[in-house]
Amino acid sequence: MRNSIIDELLRESASRAEKCCPKNPDYRLHCKRACDLENDLTSQLNEKQRSVFLEYTNEKLIEVGMEIEEAFRQGVSLGVRFTAEAFLLEEE
């Protein structure tokens, strides 16, 4: 399928889930607060502790990103299945 929205959603290299960024002010506030807290914490750690902490947070971000990606894919799949079933039932 060429120029298929389904193909784009399920197979493109940078998924729509990765491109999502909430536009509400609360999101920006939480991002800034998390950044400030990370800076406060890492400034109090020695080099080894800082390195382990940053490696841990990076791994958690990758993990959560993968979970979000999978939830997105399952949501798209469910939506496609609902739509397909609705069209099939309509034809009966």
Q: Is 64 helix (H, G, I), strand (E, B) or coil?
A: helix
CB 84 within 8 A of CB 33: no
Structure tokens at 59: 């791994």
Residue-wise pLDDT for 51-70, tens only, equals: 999 999 999 999 998 998 89
Q: Is 24 helix (H, G, I), strand (E, B) or coil?
A: coil
This prediction has a pTM of 0.66
- H/E element holding 13? none
Residue-wise pLDDT for 31-41, tens only, equals: 999 999 999 99
Domain assignments of the chain as residue spans, ordered by start? 5-91
**DSSP state letter for 21:** -
Structure tokens at 68: 């979000």
| Amino acid making up residue 9 | L
